[in-house]
A and B are shown apart, each in its own frame.
Chain A
Amino acid sequence: MINQEVKSYFPILNQEINGHPLVYLDSAATSQKPVQVIEALSNYYKLDNSNVHRGVHTLGNRATEKYEGAREKVRKFINANSTEETIFLRGTTTAINLVAQSYGRANVDEGDEIVITYMEHHSNIIPWQQLAKERGAILKYVELEEDGTISLEQVRAAVTERTKIVSMVYVSNVLGTMNPVKEVAQIAHENGAVMVVDGAQAAPHLKIDVQQLNCDFFAFSGHKMCGPTGIGVLYGKKELLNNMEPVEFGGEMIDFVGLYDSTWKELPWKFEGGTPIIAGAVGLGAAIDFLNEIGLNEIEKHEHQMAAYAMEKMSSIEGLEIYGPADPQQRAGIVTFNLNDVHPHDVATVLDMSGIAVRAGHHCAQPLMKWLEVTATARASFYLYNGESDVDRLVEGLRSAKEYFNDVF
């Protein structure tokens, strides 16, 4: 377990909500930020703010160094070959859209297939729906096993020689399932398709090695891993990115501009049109330093332990159903559940009155909700600053919720 002193780095956690100390269990939606990140953002604006890649003046150089320095941190964090392969964008959604609109439009033709799964977040569904409609392609879904995992047999059954793109979530934001994306990438490659990985829920929680996964694209967001909102990363293999057209045109991404034609900058800048997300990148760099200091392996271990503890304690509540794999080693720190007849919104409101923040709803995964045959669920998600006492508070809150709705009415 990570020493809970780490919590003291997160000023927001030190407050009362509705008269109770806050227990924040919604990190899968967005994580909280440590002082290290808040100060990096604030210092950037206080001391170094300027536009990048253009100023001859000192501040311009400093801002450029900070921005490009953050890119090198990202490269190391995911073990990319080169910083040419790490593009700063707004987040996972923008990153997947870029792949769909640039790589997808150029490579997917009528009758070709795009393969995704039932456990995708909307951000890894709709860009492909749109692409399939536009190109006359076929969007296929890999069926899930009963426990909410993905079997390679099902992937093999779905991926064919007509498949051009396979896109899959690494860690499910609802079930917490950790998917075998490395093996799926191999199946994709055997069939001549590229492999896109939605890493939004993975990057905060496990060591990412894009070369070892051998995926072609990997997308993630800063705000789920202690960084600021509005910054994310698309990793892509250099040979693919080199052949892709930008989707946003304007300043910053151009080389020579003529009256009727222009040329693009080198990688990665040709995909970063407009003044980049400089402060966001600096904040993400600080978040990466912070996570490295604690250690991604430690964080992963901590989350398995939290999931195990939460699942054990929560299953002692009669009528509480937990979705997803039963083995905590197979999931990140995400526990999605329903409490018999009590609607998840009502559960969330009762918990909120006790200072406990959980998510309720469809978690931007409507096809998965359909597969689970529920309209909504409640979700508790844990991060490095959560400890066993948070789970105890949750369980206590859930028992009160149950009593409240069973006894009072």
Chain B
Amino acid sequence: MSSNNLDQLYRRVIMDHYKTPRNKGTIEDNSVNIEMNNPTCGDRIHLTLQVEDGIVKDAKFDGEGCSISMASASMMTQAVKGQEIDTALKLSGIFSDMMLGKEYDDSIDLGDIEALQGVSQFPARIKCATLAWKAMEKGVQNEEKS
């Protein structure tokens, strides 16, 4: 098996987030509550955020899916927690560029998220990685409208 290629996809840090997810659960006192799924494969994420004064005070997720989708959700909650909404949305844009294999803004420290870069080489798996970010974006937009 071409395990070198696989190692590009399944970095140790990704598997660590998959096996020991950060911020797993539900925030009862939430201001953003959104469920999203990937209809073609059955991945599902339930994301709750507590947003106060334009800042994401807390972020938690629940759901089921493959290693990439769950690790990405764990990393996303870690990344947006404590950030201003604008920064969270900016991170989402950077992540999307990264998945599409485009040049991306590296002025912000992406931390663990950087490990997901290899996913861009596996077109069939990009949707797994972007599900949690899409949920965050949509949830925040819904909140802004209300």
Contact = CB atoms under 8 A, between A and B. Distances in A.
Contacts of A343: 65-67
A346 B16 CA distance: 15
Contact of A353 (B2, B15, B42, B43): B2
A345 B42 CA distance: 10
A282 to B, nearest CB: 31
Contacts of A297: none
Contacts of A400: 1
Contacts of A361: 40-42
A345 B40 contact: no
Contact of B42 (A346, A349, A376, A409): A376
Contacts of A18: 2, 5
Given A343-B67, A376-B41, A353 B12 contact: no
B1 A345 contact: no
Interface in B97-146: 122, 124-125, 128
B88 interface: no
A366 interface: yes
Contacts of B66: 343-346
Contacts of B15: 408-409
A404 interface: yes
Interface in A1-58: 18-19
Interface in B56-100: 64-69
Interface in A377-409: 397, 400, 404, 408-409
Interface string B1-24: 111011001101001100100000
B44 interface: yes
Contacts, number: 64
Interface residues of B, number: 26
Nearest to A364: B40
A397 B2 CA distance: 11
A107 interface: no
Contact of B5 (A353, A366, A375, A408): A353
A64 interface: no
Given A344-B66, A345-B66, A350 B42 contact: no
A291 interface: no
A92 interface: no
Contact of A349 (B3, B65, B69, B124): B124
Contact of B6 (A353, A375, A376): A353
Contacts of A362: 41-42
Contacts of B125: 345, 349
A345 B64 contact: no
B62 to A, nearest CB: 13
A409 B7 CA distance: 11
Contacts of A345: 41, 43, 65-69, 125, 128
B124 A366 contact: no
B44 A375 contact: yes
Contacts of B124: 349, 352
A20 to B, nearest CB: 8
A346 B3 CA distance: 13
Q: Which of B3, B6, B12, B64 is most buried by chain A, counting CB atoms within 10 A of its CB? A: B6
A336 interface: no
Given A345-B41, A345-B68, A375-B42, 9 more contacts: A349-B124, A352-B124, A353-B2, A353-B6, A354-B1, A361-B40, A400-B1, A404-B6, A409-B15
**Which 7 residue pairs across A and B have the least CB separation, nearest first?**
A345-B66, A343-B66, A361-B41, A409-B15, A362-B42, A376-B42, A400-B1
Interface of B: 1-3, 5-6, 9-10, 12, 15-16, 19, 40-44, 64-69, 122, 124-125, 128
